[in-house]
Amino acid sequence: MADWQEITGGVTAPKGYRAAGITAGLKPSGLPDLALIVSDVEAIAAGVFTTSQVRAACVDYCRQHLQSKAIARAILCNAGQANAATGSQGVLDAQESAELLAKELNITPELILLASTGVIGQRMKMDALRGGIPKLVAALSETGSDTAAGAIITTDLVPKSIALETTIGERSVRIGGIAKGSGMIHPNMATMLAFVTCDAAVSPHLWQEMLSRAADRSFNSITVDGDTSTNDSLIALANGESRTPAITEMGAEAEKLEAMLTAVCQHLAKAIARDGEGATCLVEVQVTGAHDELSARQIAKTIAGSSLVKSAIFGRDPNWGRIAAAAGRADVPFEQENLQIKLGDFLLFENGQPQPFDRAAASAYLKQAAAGAYLKEDTVLISVSVGNGHGSGKAWGCDLSYDYVKINAEYTT
């Protein structure tokens, strides 16, 4: 049983945070497109970013700032233009946005982190940004998480938000998060933006280590379409406003905090996979019996990312051969006779042999998951065992529908 409870409030649930989201005129649609999260005090900052060689200006900006000093007060995110592959002018635009916000907040630009999402190759609309930042700061609120969550999305159908609370040192500690992502989603990192706030006091190196591990078990374990992006950013702030003793090394309290951080990230990651472009259901792949956790996750991610598996799920076809084939090409050694595959409660393959099962009932299970889209009942569970090892891991994805092609065929036209 989890040692925490879900609460409302998103990124403003932890003490000492305000947030806002407004329409600044960055998106052609006229929908909200500029978001801000601010800590009342300086916060320890950590980040995990895209591994792409083609990166947005905001990614390089954040990396440089976090490497020199892992402290921040604010996260500014624009939606509509990715400001990626925009050359030196894109870098100047990013720097100017930080300077404009710093002036409005009366802090130094070094305390601001940046994120962008939208069409690659398009610079931010600076005139709209210049006019929007004063309005954005004026809109900051201790209950502004939902408006911020709504202002960072692009092709998402729903905003993603979560907040959890636990007790450390007899004091309440909270972690909140918001995220966006729907297409171009694949591990390493997945194409997404996620912002996490925490009111515990944690040392910089430990907070970064916790976030990196949480990312591997969440955002780096989801896939929608096998594509990654230029702007992926996971940024987490910890401002110490809960007034708990500082956590500086691994131990019971650190493990408790990291477990809650991982739970927040996994909730947001699954919400992204569930909201995959054109998707009708969430797919969870659980792998056990591997040599170690990394091997298990690699098999799980390969299965979740298989276009053939995803297409079969959309067609409500319990074709276990595609699952077996994906597991076999994951570049993880295992003996075929140790392979077991289950779809929900249906045993499809065991000890290297096909098993008799009710194909119509298994197909109905897949149909039921699709009928529950955007609800907790929408999950298709694929369970795979590859041996007697202690390694286990999970990955999340979605089915592949006709609508995915339509959405992305018309993305800029």
pLDDT in tens, the chain (413 residues): 679 999 999 999 999 999 999 999 999 999 999 999 999 999 999 999 998 889 999 999 999 999 989 999 999 999 999 999 999 999 999 999 999 999 999 999 999 999 999 889 999 999 999 999 999 999 999 999 999 999 999 878 889 999 999 999 889 999 999 999 876 555 555 458 999 999 999 999 999 999 999 999 999 998 877 767 788 999 999 999 999 999 999 999 999 999 999 999 999 999 988 888 888 899 999 999 999 999 999 999 999 999 999 999 999 999 999 999 999 999 999 999 999 999 999 999 999 899 999 999 999 999 988 766 444 467 999 999 999 999 999 999 999 888 888 877 876 65
* 158, two tokens: 């729903």
pLDDT at res. 190:
47
- For residue 191, what pLDDT is reported? 54
Q: Distance between CA 115 and CA 192 in Å, rounded? A: 10
Q: How many CB atoms lie within 10 A of CB 1?
A: 3
Compute the distance between CA of residue 262 and CA of residue 304 in angstroms, rounded to an integer: 20
Q: Packing angle between helix 320-328 and helix 293-305, nearest 10 degrees?
A: 130
CA distance 191 to 49: 10
Rg of the chain (C-alpha set): 21
Q: Is 191 a catalytic residue?
A: yes
Q: What is the pLDDT of residue 157?
A: 84
**Per-residue confidence (pLDDT) for residue 303, from 0 to 100:** 97
| Catalytic-labelled residue, pool 191, 197, 230, 288 | 191
**Which DSSP string corresponds to 82-132?**
--BS-HHHHHHHHHHHHHHHHHHHTS-GGGEEEEEEEETT----HHHHHHH
Both structure tokens of 273: 């996979």
Where exactly are the structural domains of the chain? Answer: 5-272, 282-409
Tell which residue, 257, 273, 267, 140, has the closest CA to residue 209.
257
Q: In whole angstroms, how far apart are CA 368 and each of 182, 271, 400?
A: 22, 19, 16
Tokens 């870098």 correspond to what residue?
A: 91
Q: Sort residue 30 into left (φ over 0), alpha (ψ -120 to 50) or beta.
A: left
State the pairing for strand pair 160-168/171-180. Answer: antiparallel
β-partners of residue 75 are 37, 113
The predicted structure's pLDDT at residue 374: 43
Superfamily, domain 282-409: ArgJ beta chain, C-terminal domain (3.10.20.340)
Q: Where are the beta strands (DSSP E) in 302-351?
A: 340-343, 346-350
Number of helices (H), then strands (E), in the chain: 11, 15
Instruction: List the CATH code of the domain at 5-272.
Output: 3.60.70.12
- Where do runs of H (alpha helix) occur along 124-238? 126-138, 145-151, 204-216
Burial class of 374 by CB neighbour count within 10 A (0 to 12, 13 to 18, 19+): middle
